[in-house]
Amino acid sequence: QVQLVESGGGLVQAGGSLRLSCAGSGSISSFYWMAWFRQASGKEREFVAAARWSGDAPQYAYFVKGRFTISRDNAKNTMYLQMNSLIPEDTAVYYCTAGPTVLDVTQRGYYDYWGQGTQVTVSL
């Protein structure tokens, strides 16, 4: 059984940084693609960043490029999201997701497994 557990969320002032972690357990093949999505209150869940097993050519949503960095430690089945220069618009619940075959990393329907989410709140 595949499980994903996020951690690292919290309250931070604008301009600050946070590092999210996502620890996975279960079948290794399930984690070929891993990604972060987020959902702000009253809005739809949206793509943030994704990385394949090799970690090369990560993909980012335009609104986090240059500020967020996705990385993986496959030996630990763990993915990270380093978030710098945070702004209030980054406030959301951040979800970790994974799947063996993802044709479009920005579309949540392609992912098979989801974590429970971790709250990130950015204050002025």
Q: What is the pLDDT of residue 30?
A: 81
Q: Which residues contact 75 (CB under 8 A, 6 or more apart)?
A: none
pLDDT of residue 29: 77
Please tell me what DSSP assigns to residue 85: S
Phi, psi (deg, nearest 5) at residue 25: -140, 145
pLDDT at residue number 62 = 98
Contacts for 112 with CB less than 8 Å, ≥ 6 apart = 2, 30, 98, 99, 100
Between CA 19 and CA 47 the distance in angstroms is: 17
Give residue 55's pLDDT: 85
Q: CA 24, CA 76: separation in Å to the nearest integer?
A: 8
pLDDT at 120: 98
Tens of pLDDT along the chain (124 residues) come to 899 999 999 999 999 999 999 999 988 778 899 999 999 999 999 999 999 998 889 999 999 999 999 999 999 999 999 999 999 999 999 999 999 999 999 999 999 999 999 999 999 9
- pLDDT on residue 112: 95
* pLDDT for the residue 27: 82
